Homo-oligomer: A and B are copies of this chain.
Amino acid sequence: MEDRKRDHIDLAFSSRLEAKHADNRFDYEPLFGTHHKTEQEFHFAGKKMRLPLWVSSMTGGTKRAGTINKNLAQACAEFGLGMGLGSCRILLDSPEHFEDFNVRPIMGNEAPLFANIGICQLENMLQDGSSDKLAELVDKLDADGLIIHINPLQEAFQPEGDQLKRPALELLQEYLENTTMKIIVKEVGQGFGYASLKQLLQLPIEAIEFAAMGGTNFSLVELNRSDAVAAEVFNPFIHVGHTAEEMTHMVNKLVDELPLEAIQAKQLIISGGISSVLDGYYLTSISKLPAFYGMGSAFLRHAMGDYSKLRAFVEKIDQSWSLATNFLKVKQA
């Protein structure tokens, strides 16, 4: 006890926080809550989650990716999280990578799992009439549906990138008329602007995933692999985009403006630059549509080694959600 007290004196001087670093989104209200764990249940795509938290995986097709996906799936099983796989394009050509993506046996059947494919692959399949392969893929993975990611800048910045010949919106509309699968539409790191969100909200989809600016930006990933001239000239495009908070406000505005019956998208997955439980707590609280929050690289950083490391991380996440709901109150705008 003597030692802990001495620590307190020394730590006191270094344990101050300048007001300019304050998080003004919340009131801190320590008088009304307790330390009891909050028990909640969330429903999505016919499945069930225990935290409103979505794991956005970003990888597949390598041995390291296999380990990562298995760790993430185990955390989903233990803590009741939903999960979206990284791009499964490789499986269409190289089925030998199947095991890297085959997480349903680990994850169990309670929580939702989605496969993932790019808009250019969809265009190619629609063009040559092979889009049934997507349903087969989802079936083989025992997934609950398919994420379609929209990435025209990423493709443009790749020397070998695919070319969109028709607008993404047309392709989505055509595909949705011809499939019964549950679909999530997401961006790849720069989010969607107002006009795009307005259209997406009116599509019969399971969710819009933001993949907003602030998180991993796959157009920037490509530029970081490019030659110097491409990196210089294209770089300004990377700075265009929409943050998760901005997008949440845009969707709220659209919810107010659109006729109720026009909104067919069921919910949001607010991802892209969500760096803490508090970001997720804030944005899901202010959203007028039902919403989960999603994290990608935060999970990835803890998922590359032994499962016990990831487990310790998600356990604190779980506890943080309880503390937030007990002691923090979202400020009215």
Q: Determine if A192 and B34 form an interchain contact, defined as CB atoms under 8 angstroms apart.
A: no
Q: Determine if A196 and B31 form an interchain contact, defined as CB atoms under 8 angstroms apart.
A: yes
Residues of B within 8 A of A187 (CB): 30
A12, A297, A320, A323 pick with most chain B CB within 10 angstroms = A12
Q: Determine if B31 and A323 form an interchain contact, defined as CB atoms under 8 angstroms apart.
A: no
Report the minimal beta-carbon distance from A109 to chain B, rounded to whole angstroms: 28
Q: Determine if B167 and A34 form an interchain contact, defined as CB atoms under 8 angstroms apart.
A: yes
Q: Determine if A233 and B276 form an interchain contact, defined as CB atoms under 8 angstroms apart.
A: yes
A27 within 8 A of B: yes
Copies of this chain, how many? Answer: 4
A147 within 8 A of B: no
A217 within 8 A of B: yes
Give the contact-size bracket for chain A: 35 or more
Find residues 10-27 in chain A having any chain B CB closer than 8 Å to their own CB.
11-19, 21-23, 25-27
A90 within 8 A of B: yes
A233-265: CB near B (< 8 Å → 1, else 0) gives 111111111110100000000000000000000
Report the minimal beta-carbon distance from A216 to chain B, rounded to whole angstroms: 5
Q: Determine if A164 and B11 form an interchain contact, defined as CB atoms under 8 angstroms apart.
A: no
Q: Determine if B29 and A196 form an interchain contact, defined as CB atoms under 8 angstroms apart.
A: yes
A150, A296, A326 pick with most chain B CB within 10 angstroms = A326
Contact for A26 among B1, B155, B200, B240, CB less than 8 A: B240
A194 within 8 A of B: yes
A145 within 8 A of B: no
Nearest B residue to A158 via CB reads B4
Residues of B within 8 A of A18 (CB): 214
A162-206: CB near B (< 8 Å → 1, else 0) gives 011111110010000000000000010111111110011000000
Q: What is the CA–CA distance of A20 and B59 in the complex, to the nearest angstrom? A: 27
Q: What is the CA–CA distance of A225 and B199 in the complex, to the nearest angstrom? A: 50
Q: Determine if B150 and A31 form an interchain contact, defined as CB atoms under 8 angstroms apart.
A: yes
A286-306: CB near B (< 8 Å → 1, else 0) gives 000000000011001110000
Q: Give me 15 A-to-B residue pairs in the complex whose CB atoms sit less than 8 angstroms apart, sorted by A's number.
A: A1-B90, A6-B62, A6-B64, A8-B58, A9-B64, A11-B221, A13-B300, A16-B217, A17-B220, A30-B196, A32-B167, A35-B156, A152-B326, A156-B319, A233-B320
| Leading 6 A-B pairs by shortest Cβ distance | A27-B193, A233-B316, A23-B239, A236-B276, A15-B220, A31-B169
